[in-house]
Structure 1
Amino acid sequence: MEYALPPELRDERGAGNASFALAAAAERGEPWLSFFSPDDLPALFGRHGLEVVEHVRQADCVDPALWRRQDGLRPADLCRLARATVTT
């Protein structure tokens, strides 16, 4: 599951991207209504028979050497992926 981080957990790039992305999504009728910290998800998933296996940051999805760039295509900590398994 992809989830958005609350403002206090976003890095500077994530905060900048959020100011644009949240407004654009809301304008198109899909406002972001939920934000989670990685610490929130184990209990939430657990209530639905899932166990969080890992949280993946955008920066961890690609070889770090590819992020050493000066243009706008660098990782931002705004959203993460949670990978879970079924426990029940």
Structure 2
Amino acid sequence: MMKDKCSKLETENSELRRQLTEHCWKSKENSSKDKEIEAFWRFEDGREEWLPAKLIRKYANGECSVQYSDGVSRVRSSWVREVGQM
């Protein structure tokens, strides 16, 4: 009887994990398709631009690491926005 309960719980747990993984995957797909993200970058020559960003990681200290669409990662871009926001 105890084996049956454990087996049932393992099955339920596996199903819940599968559903959660599926939900997270769909959320990632939808968010990346629906939203275009830009991040502000100040170049060494003084130019400032909002550039399309592929991946943004925000750290606890408030800094961001941004991977831009050109594949280059730059650190300390502090402003990020969805395209169309001002």
Query: Per the shorter chain, which TM-score range?
Result: under 0.3
Higher strand share: 2
Question: Larger Cα Rg: Structure 1 or Structure 2?
Answer: 2
TM-score, normalised to structure 2's length?
0.23
TM-score, normalised to structure 1's length?
0.22
Higher relative contact order (Cα pairs below 8 Å, separated by 6+ residues):
1
